[in-house]
Every structure is written in structure tokens, then in C-alpha cells.
């Protein structure tokens, strides 16, 4: 037994504490530099770990003592109703196991934080490891809230133990038992039994030995069955706890930016509830859960970055499309103007040809050439303008396609 790391493997394991000795834990007046000092209330802030942070942050009050120094308890419980305690463990199990600890119970199997300072009379205000297998977290601070207090009540447990033993002494009970048998007379010694009586006694003894062996075998079998059933129940509980944790890990594999915060909170609550039941799989599940949170966090950041890039690309495409539409509209206006000019030139040419054809007195070649000169000029002008329209379309047809297509007009009813 002993303390096991919540936050990783290879951590110090203080064993389950021995029965408490009568002692008085008095905080050093005023507190040394870097300690909370003589106060009954303080708060923990900071702690950047995604899972441990929500558990240890909050308000604490003095709550008894352990190994000669005051202990403290969080005013609110963690997930699943677990208490959060801060207590001191001395060097009786070695320096590596001593210092200040944050855990759900004194000497329990689950540990959230540790500070290796063995000389401070009260908890240090900074330099805490949370989880305790990691490096010190500079963001985690103990902030004093309350006023100095007197001595905590550390004598109650020791006094209570001593009173209980005194009141329940066994001497009176033994005396009553002896008194109950005091009036029975001692039987006279029996004469030596004959051979038949000795054989009967041996048979009786053998029978009693056989019955004793059978009873012992039955007891051992029952004990084995009970032990086996208990082991099976424990194994089932471990498997159920492991499955519950792995269900959340599986959810984290399909995380989105919208679900990340809720899944992170679900992981913290599930670990607080199930981690202590996972048996030999604790270290592996701790590694899997930490890795799942890390991968999920990266996946969410990548998704956000991808969405931002997609949005930027969409805006850029919209901008270019709008520019193309505006340019196409300008080209269309220019084309319409050129087309109108070409149509006007063709109309003037047609009118001139008609007038020449209807004109009389063109009986000589010179008169015909003179009358045809304006027509030829108008023809060249019209031809030039029509060619300009054709060349314009050849050059700008692709750009004109950027114009939105107008919806087709509805067909009139038949």
C-alpha cells in the first residue's frame, strides 16, 4: 500500500500512516519566508495542468494535523465527492517520501501534488509539483486569506484512543468467566482403562482428528472461494473503471473545436472517479489519457488553423470574383458602346448606298465615282468598327464570362 502518483509513474510512495500519536501542531507565528504561516485559510491559484488544476484550485481551511504539522482541507470536494487535503509526511519512510502532499486522504493511494520542503512549519507558497511526477509549476501559488489562528485541535485523536482502551479492558470480563466455573468440583482420577477402552479411545481420537481435518478443509475451501470471489469482483471493478476511462479517450479521438472543452472536463471527472480502481493499469491509463489530451489539443489547434485558412481563401476568392465581375461589367459597357457605334456606321452606309442608287443623272463614269466616294468612305468606317467589335470579343470573351448568368425568363403559358 502507500501513495501512488496520480500524475505519472516512478514517484515516491509514503505508506498508509500508522495510528496517530498524541501531538500538537502549532504553525510558526507569522510564518517563514515562502510559507503560508499562522493562518487558518488560504487559496490555491494557478496550476496549468488540464486535469490536476481544476482539482487542486480553490479555498482551504485548517483541518487537524499529521506528523506534527497542521493539515488542511479544501472547502469544496473534487469530482465524485473526493476530498482534497494538504498534509505533511516526515522522514520515517526516507527523505524521498517526505514533504508536503496534496491527496484525497492522508497516506492514501492517490496523489495530486507534492512539495519536497521538509523544514517548513506550514505549506510553502510556491514551488509545487502538480502532478507531483512533473517539474515545479511556477503558476501554482498558495495565497493567504484568513487571519492568524491559535493551536489546531491535534490532541483529540490520541486522547480518544487512550480512553477507549482504558474503558474496554479485558480483566473484568476474564474475571467473570472464571467466576462462572468456580463452583464445579474436580472429578476424582479415573482408574487405568482396560485394552478395549484404550482402543475405543484411539478410535474416538482418530474420528475427532478426521472431523477436524474435514472441518479445516471445508474452512480453507470456503476461504479460497471467498478470496476468489473477492478477486473476481475486484478484477471486474478494475476492468469497468479502465473501460470508462478508455471510452472518454475514444471520444477524444474524434474531438472538434466545439466539443474539446466538454471532453476535457469529462476526462478530468472520469479520472477522479475511476483512476484509483484501475489496479496495475494505472500507469498505462495515465499515459494514454495524457497522450489523448495532447493529441486532441493539437488536433483542435490544427482544425482551427485549417478553418482560418479556408475562411481566408474564401474571402480572397470572393474578392477576386468581385473584381472579375466589375471588370467584366466594364468590358461589357465598352463592348455595347463599340457595337452601337458599329451599328450606326452600318446604318449610315446603308442610307448612303440607297441614296446613290436612287440618284439620277449619273450618266458618266466621273459622276458615278464622285457619287460613290462618300459611300466607300462610310463602308471603310463601318468595316473598321465591326472588325473592332469582333477583335474585342476575341480578346475579352473569357473575362466577360465572369458576369453572373441572368435567370431564364419564364415561358408564357401555352
Local structure of residue 124 (DSSP, 8 states): B
Phi-psi label, residue 352: left if phi above 0, alpha if psi -120 to 50, beta otherwise: alpha
The predicted model gives 122-126 an average pLDDT of 96
Beta strand 58-66 with 41-45 is antiparallel
What is the band of 41 on the pLDDT scale with cuts at 50, 70, 90? very high
Close Cβ partners of 50 (under 8 Å, ≥ 6 residues apart) = 264, 268, 293
| pLDDT for residue 347 | 92
Say what the pLDDT of residue 81 is.
Answer: 77
Q: Which residues touch 129 (CB under 8 Å, ≥6 apart)?
A: 113, 114, 115, 135, 136, 137
pLDDT at 192: 44
Report the pLDDT value the prediction gives residue 16, as an integer from 0 to 100: 38
Give the mean pLDDT of 375-403: 90
Beta strand residue intervals within 110-151, DSSP E: 110-111, 113-115, 141-144
Q: Is the pLDDT of residue 137 over 90?
A: yes
Reported as a pLDDT band with limits 50, 70 and 90, residue 414 is: low
- Predicted TM-score of the model (pTM): 0.34
The model's pLDDT over 19-30, given as tens digits with 9 standing for 90+, comes to 333 333 444 434
Q: pLDDT band for 400, please (50, 70, 90 cuts).
A: confident
pLDDT tens digit sequence for 321-361: 999 999 999 999 999 999 999 999 999 889 988 888 887 77
Whole-number Å distance between alpha carbons of 366 and 80 = 116
* Cα angle value 185/186/191 (rounded, 5°): 135
pLDDT value at 366 more than 50: yes
User: Tell me, what's the pLDDT at 195?
Assistant: 57
- pLDDT score for 196: 62
Provide mean pLDDT across the span 384-411: 85
Beta carbons within 8 Å of 265's beta carbon, 6+ residues apart: 54
Nearest to 100 by CA among 39, 14, 42, 162: 14
- Residue 138, CA distances (Å) to 117, 121, 339 in order: 16, 21, 77
| Ranges 67-76, 147-156, 336-345: which has the least confidence | 147-156
Q: Which residue has the higher pLDDT, 272 or 18?
A: 272
pLDDT for residue 9 is more than 70? no
pLDDT of residue 306 exceeding 90: yes
pLDDT for res 77: 83
Q: Which of 119, 123, 131, 117 is nearest to 10 (CA)?
A: 131
Q: Counting every residue, how long is the chain?
A: 414
Phi and psi of 100, rounded to 5°? -100, 135
Q: For residue 146, give the nearest of 23, 24, 31 by alpha carbon.
A: 31
Q: What DSSP character marks residue 33?
A: T
Query: Which tops the pLDDT comparison, 146 or 237?
Result: 237
In this prediction, what percent of the chain has a pLDDT beyond 90? 49
> Which residues lie across from 102 on neighbouring strands?
86, 113
Average pLDDT over the chain, rounded to whole? 79
Q: Which pLDDT score, from 0 to 100, does residue 89 have?
A: 94
Where does the pLDDT of residue 261 fall: very low under 50, low under 70, confident under 90, or very high at 90 and above?
A: very high
| Cell 506550514 found at | 122
Q: 178 or 13: which carries more pLDDT confidence?
A: 13
pLDDT: which is higher, 292 or 147: 292
Give yes or no for a cis peptide into 304 (omega within 30° of 0). Answer: no
Share of the chain above pLDDT 70, in %: 78
The predicted pLDDT at position 409 comes to 66
Whole-number pLDDT of residue 104: 92
* pLDDT per residue as tens digits for the range 83-109: 999 999 999 888 888 999 999 999 877
Is the pLDDT higher at 414 or at 413? 413
Rounded to an integer, the average pLDDT of 25-47 is 75
Amino acid at each position: 500500500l502507500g501513495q501512488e502518483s496520480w500524475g505519472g509513474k516512478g514517484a515516491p510512495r509514503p505508506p498508509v500512516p500508522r495510528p496517530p500519536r498524541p501531538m500538537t501542531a502549532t504553525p510558526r507565528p507569522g510564518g517563514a519566508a515562502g510559507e503560508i504561516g499562522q493562518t487558518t485559510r488560504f487559496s490555491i491559484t494557478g496550476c496549468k495542468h488540464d486535469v490536476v488544476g481544476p482539482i487542486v484550485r480553490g479555498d482551504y481551511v485548517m483541518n487537524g494535523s499529521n506528523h506534527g504539522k497542521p493539515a488542511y482541507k479544501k472547502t469544496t470536494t473534487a469530482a465524485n465527492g473526493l476530498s482534497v487535503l494538504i498534509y505533511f509526511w516526515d522522514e520515517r519512510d526516507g527523505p524521498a517520501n517526505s514533504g508536503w502532499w496534496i491527496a484525497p486522504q492522508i497516506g492514501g493511494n492517490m496523489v495530486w501534488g507534492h512539495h519536497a520542503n521538509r523544514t517548513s512549519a506550514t505549506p510553502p507558497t510556491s514551488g509545487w509539483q502538480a502532478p507531483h511526477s512533473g517539474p515545479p509549476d511556477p503558476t501554482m501559488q498558495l495565497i493567504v486569506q484568513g487571519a492568524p489562528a491559535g493551536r489546531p485541535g491535534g490532541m483529540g485523536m490520541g486522547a480518544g484512543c487512550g480512553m477507549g482502551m482504558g474503558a474496554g479492558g479485558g480483566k473484568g470480563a476474564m474475571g467473570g468467566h472464571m467466576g462462572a466455573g468456580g463452583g464445579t468440583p474436580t472429578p476424582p482420577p479415573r482408574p487405568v482403562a482396560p485394552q478395549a477402552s484404550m482402543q475405543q479411545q484411539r478410535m474416538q481420537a482418530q474420528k475427532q482428528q478426521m472431523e477436524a481435518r474435514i472441518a479445516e478443509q471445508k474452512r480453507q475451501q470456503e476461504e479460497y472461494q471467498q478470496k476468489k470471489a473477492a478477486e473476481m469482483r475486484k478484477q471486474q471493478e478494475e476492468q469497468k473503471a479502465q473501460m470508462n476511462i478508455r471510452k472518454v479517450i475514444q471520444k477524444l479521438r474524434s474531438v472538434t473545436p466545439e466539443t474539446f472543452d466538454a471532453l476535457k472536463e469529462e476526462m478530468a471527472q472520469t479520472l477522479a472517479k475511476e483512476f484509483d480502481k484501475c489496479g496495475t493499469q494505472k500507469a498505462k491509463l495515465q499515459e494514454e489519457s495524457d497522450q489523448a489530451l495532447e493529441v486532441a489539443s493539437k488536433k483542435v489547434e490544427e482544425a482551427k488553423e485549417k478553418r482560418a485558412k479556408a475562411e481566408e481563401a474564401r474571402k480572397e476568392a470572393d474578392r477576386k470574383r468581385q473584381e472579375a465581375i466589375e471588370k467584366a461589367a466594364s468590358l461589357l459597357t465598352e463592348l455595347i458602346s463599340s457595337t452601337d457605334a458599329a451599328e450606326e456606321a452600318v446604318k449610315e452606309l446603308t442610307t448612303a448606298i440607297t441614296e446613290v442608287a436612287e440618284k439620277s443623272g449619273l450618266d458618266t463614269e466621273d459622276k458615278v465615282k464622285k457619287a460613290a466616294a462618300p459611300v466607300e468612305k462610310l463602308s471603310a468606317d463601318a468595316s473598321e468598327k465591326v472588325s473592332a467589335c469582333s477583335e474585342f470579343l476575341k480578346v475579352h470573351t473569357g473575362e466577360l464570362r465572369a458576369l453572373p448568368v441572368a435567370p431564364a425568363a419564364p415561358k408564357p403559358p401555352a
